[in-house]
Amino acid sequence: MSAPSQLHLERLAYKRSRARRSTVVALLSTVVFAAAAWLTITNAPGWPRVQESFFDWEAAKKSFPALLDGLWLNVRVLVVCGILILVIGLGIAALRTLRGPVWFPLRALATAYVDLFRGLPLIICLYLIGFGLPGLRLGGIPNDPVVLGSIALVLVYSAYVAEVFRAGIESIHPSQLASARSLGLTHAQTMRIVVMPQAVRRVLPPLLNDFVAFQKDCGLISVLGAVDAVRAAQIESATSYNFTPYVVAGLLFVLLAVPSSRLADWASRRAARRQNAGGPGA
Amino acid sequence: MRGMRAVTALFAVVLVVVAGCAPVEEQGPAAEGPATAGAGDCAKAALKTRTPGKFTFGTDQPVYEPWFSGDDPSNGKGFESAVAYAVAGKLGYAKAEVDWVRVPFNAAIQPGPKSFDANLNEFSITDDRRKAVDFSTPYYDVTQAVVAFKSSPAAKATTVAALKEFKLGAQVGTTSYDAAAKQVQPTQQVAVYNNNDDAKQALRNNQVQAIVVDLATAFYITSAELTDAVIVGQLPASGGKAEQFGIVLDKGSSLTRCVSAAVDALRADGTLAQAEKQWLAEAGKAPKLT
């Protein structure tokens, strides 16, 4: 190794100066943007009232315990329903991908299920299940709005998730199925050993995306009487006509979504890496 | 120095944008001192309504009996519709000069410009709420009442304490909810519904054993909608302070004084009492919870 030439040193110094300059320019333009946005908002004639309505520290502190209580309900519903949705969604996707005329009734049923619950607005499904089912006054039907709301959530979201799984299953090249079958694997074995591991890996990013959407939708069970974080914010906001509790609830939901979003990023990066493993550029 | 030029250009653009978002003209401060509806600075010609020559009332959609009738605020039927037209009348507006807009609850209380001059929708006056909106002087003294089915054990309660053990329901954003949660303080969390229709459905399904509504609504529910239900009783006023309905106006509205003057005049000449008699049932007939 000979010492770097004078020319090389100059080149490095130039590169460093360019990098420094880029940083300064980026910093400057960010500051200008931030200052302008801040000035525009705080100089607006309605700003004092908006500040009072949406960013009132006292109101935020006062509403916080109630919001946390509500959020705890969201988290419990999220976990329980999340697991049920995965299982049921996978089951329906498996039914939809069954081949052969014998399975037609099951295929048709699964297709009808997906069509119905993907098309039905969640809020209407919530009302039908939440107020309709107990209205029948049959024995054994739960009366708790959280249970009823969770049933409606699972029905609707498993239809979405089934379609995500199905897309994954159908994305596996037919040659893989053909080779698996030619090795003597049954259809069930082929699905379990060859298709599913690849399909699930492929749909992990869209699944996590649905999960983040579900984090926010699970609060809709509040229309049935349960008090989730958003409903708690609504109650707090109505006592003072102040919107700050909504902002606080919004921040709590963002905090809840950040880990899922990072997980989704990580999963898609890993999927991409594995997809291209051994290929060019790996 | 291309980068620096770009920053300068950016700065110029930002300045233009800031100037473009220049403040909108605000109304001047409201006049002080006593007001007389329909005269002086409260004369029709002096009122700065949204549409000159018209008075625009806001209310939610749907609206409920007995406050309105048939979800049509413009028919003059129902207590609040009657009060609205009486207030407009005092200010010099004929029936045809009154407009109605339908405004959801949150839109009525948000800090931005309002789509109405005044809003009637059973808004209870509280000091907290006064920080966000203007209220007229009160036009109705309200009490909260508990409704349950005759067959329910909740219907047997004669004291507030006896209600603690039951699952209660109420509409979100109402003082009925506050009464249920803070006065009764039940052992189970109060179920909260988007509106009284949902609360009534939950009562029918036995998802809640009793609901809390204002007394006039309670009379309507038990006489016209759930005829198997009864008014268990009226809740005592919280903190010994009577709860009152007021007309909601934009914070700092120049109309508040005049609307208040009109409400005061209607109380003085007996119009409010007359409307109560016509549209709302007698409060004395419901038992009081102790």
Nearest to B194 by CA among A225, A46, A236: A225
Residue B2 belongs to a domain? no
**Closest A-chain CA to B174:** A238
CB B227 within 8 Å of CB B219: no
What whole-number distance in Å separates Cα of residue B233 and Cα of residue A205?
A: 56
Q: Are B137 and B151 part of one and the same domain? A: no
Measured over the CA atoms of residue A65, residue A68, residue A70 and residue A72, the dihedral's sign is negative
User: Does A134 touch chain B if contact means CB atoms closer than 8 Å?
Assistant: yes
Task: Look at strands B55-59 and B98-102 and give their pairing.
Answer: parallel
Q: Distance from CA of residue A257 to its chain's centroid?
A: 8
Does the pLDDT of residue B143 top 70, yes or no? yes
Q: Are B50 and B80 part of one and the same domain? A: yes
CATH number at B207 reads 3.40.190.10
Nearest to B98 by CA among B83, B108, B84: B84
What whole-number distance in Å separates Cα of residue B68 and Cα of residue B75?
A: 9
Residue B129 belongs to a domain? yes
User: Does B238 touch chain A if contact means CB atoms closer than 8 Å?
Assistant: no
CB B140 within 8 Å of CB B263: no
Query: Which of A1-10, A228-237, B49-58, B149-158 is the least confident region?
Result: A1-10
Contact B111 A239 (CB under 8 A): no
User: Does B112 touch chain A if contact means CB atoms closer than 8 Å?
Assistant: yes
| Residue carrying the six token digits 């040659």 | A175
Q: Who's near A274: CB < 8 A, 6+ residues apart?
A: A201
What whole-number distance in Å separates Cα of residue B118 and Cα of residue B138?
A: 13
- Domain end call among B219, B236, B253: B236
Cβ-based contacts of A32 with chain B (< 8 Å) = 7, 10-11, 14
Q: Are B67 and B171 part of one and the same domain? A: no
Low-confidence stretches of chain A (pLDDT beneath 50)? 281-282
Cβ-based contacts of A66 with chain B (< 8 Å) = none
Contact A29 B6 (CB under 8 A): yes
pLDDT at B19 (0 to 100):
55
Residue B13 belongs to a domain? no
CB B152 within 8 Å of CB B210: yes
CB B266 within 8 Å of CB B83: yes
Nearest to B88 by CA among B139, B38, B137: B38
Q: Are B135 and B151 part of one and the same domain? A: no
CB B280 within 8 Å of CB B214: no
- Domain end call among B220, B236, B252: B236
pLDDT at B278 (0 to 100):
87
Contact B23 A243 (CB under 8 A): no
| Distance to chain A for B274, nearest Cα, Å | 31
Is cis: bond before B186, omega within 30 of 0? no
Does the pLDDT of residue B168 top 90, yes or no? yes
| Distance to chain A for B180, nearest Cα, Å | 13
| Residue carrying the six token digits 């209660």 | B168
Number of H helices, E strands in chain A: 12, 0
User: Does A240 touch chain B if contact means CB atoms closer than 8 Å?
Assistant: yes
Cβ-based contacts of A28 with chain B (< 8 Å) = 7
Cβ-based contacts of A227 with chain B (< 8 Å) = 189, 191-192
Tens digits of residue pLDDT in B249-262:
998 898 999 999 99
Structural domain count, chain B: 2
Q: Which residues of B216-248 are buried (b: 16+ CB within 10 A; e: fewer)?
A: bbbbbbbeeebeebbbbbbbeeeeeeebbbbbb
| Residue carrying the six token digits 């944008």 | B17
Q: Show the DSSP H helices in A138-219 as ranges.
A: 145-170, 174-182, 187-189, 196-217
User: Does B194 touch chain A if contact means CB atoms closer than 8 Å?
Assistant: yes
pLDDT at A281 (0 to 100):
45
Q: Are B174 and B102 part of one and the same domain? A: no
Structure tokens at A41: 């908002």
Residue B3 belongs to a domain? no
| Range 245-284 of B in CB contact (< 8 A) with A | 251
Residue B179 belongs to a domain? yes
What count of residues does chain A have? 282
Residue B34: pLDDT band by 50, 70, 90 thresholds?
low
| Distance to chain B for A156, nearest Cα, Å | 21
User: Does B127 touch chain A if contact means CB atoms closer than 8 Å?
Assistant: no
Contact B24 A235 (CB under 8 A): no
pLDDT at A139 (0 to 100):
75
Contact B126 A135 (CB under 8 A): no
- B100: helix, strand or coil: strand
pLDDT at B45 (0 to 100):
83
pLDDT at A118 (0 to 100):
92
Q: Are B207 and B258 part of one and the same domain? A: no
Cα atoms in the Cβ-side hemisphere of radius 13 Å centred on B219: 17
Residue B289 belongs to a domain? no
Measured over the CA atoms of residue A92, residue A98, residue A104 and residue A108, the dihedral's sign is positive
What whole-number distance in Å separates Cα of residue B65 and Cα of residue B220?
A: 7
User: Does A27 touch chain B if contact means CB atoms closer than 8 Å?
Assistant: no
pLDDT at B21 (0 to 100):
55
| Distance to chain B for A209, nearest Cα, Å | 29
Phi, psi of A59 (to 5 degrees): -65, -35
Contact A134 B205 (CB under 8 A): yes
Tens digits of residue pLDDT in B105-130:
878 888 778 889 999 998 989 888 88
**Closest B-chain CA to A37:** B18
Does the pLDDT of residue B16 top 70, yes or no? no
Residue B11 belongs to a domain? no
Residue B26: pLDDT band by 50, 70, 90 thresholds?
very low
**Closest A-chain CA to B12:** A32
Average pLDDT over residues B200-228: 89
Q: Are B88 and B130 part of one and the same domain? A: yes
Q: Are B193 and B168 part of one and the same domain? A: yes
A175, A180, A182, A185 alpha-carbon torsion, rounded to 10°: -150
**Closest A-chain CA to B200:** A131
- B237: helix, strand or coil: coil
Which position has the higher pLDDT, B117 or B17?
B117
Q: Which domain covers residue B162, as residue numbers?
A: 144-236
B206 Ramachandran zone, left/alpha/beta (phi>0; psi -120 to 50): left
pLDDT at B64 (0 to 100):
86
Nearest-CB residue to B109 (from A52, A222, A241):
A241
**Closest A-chain CA to B207:** A143
Contact A135 B177 (CB under 8 A): no
Q: Are B120 and B41 part of one and the same domain? A: yes
pLDDT at B28 (0 to 100):
46
Residue B9 belongs to a domain? no
Mutation site for A-interface testing, chosen from B1, B4, B7, B25 by largest number of A Cβ within 10 Å: B7
Q: Are B136 and B278 part of one and the same domain? A: yes
User: Does A222 touch chain B if contact means CB atoms closer than 8 Å?
Assistant: yes
Which position has the higher pLDDT, B39 or A202?
A202
Give the containing element (helix H, strand E) for B212. strand B210-214
- B242: helix, strand or coil: coil
| Distance to chain B for A184, nearest Cα, Å | 56
ipTM: 0.70
Nearest to B171 by CA among B204, B193, B154: B193
Confidence (pTM): 0.75
Which position has the higher pLDDT, B64 or B23?
B64
Q: Are B270 and B152 part of one and the same domain? A: no
Contact A131 B198 (CB under 8 A): yes
Cα atoms in the Cβ-side hemisphere of radius 13 Å centred on A178: 3
Structure tokens at A281: 């550029």
Contact A50 B3 (CB under 8 A): no
Q: Are B150 and B165 part of one and the same domain? A: yes
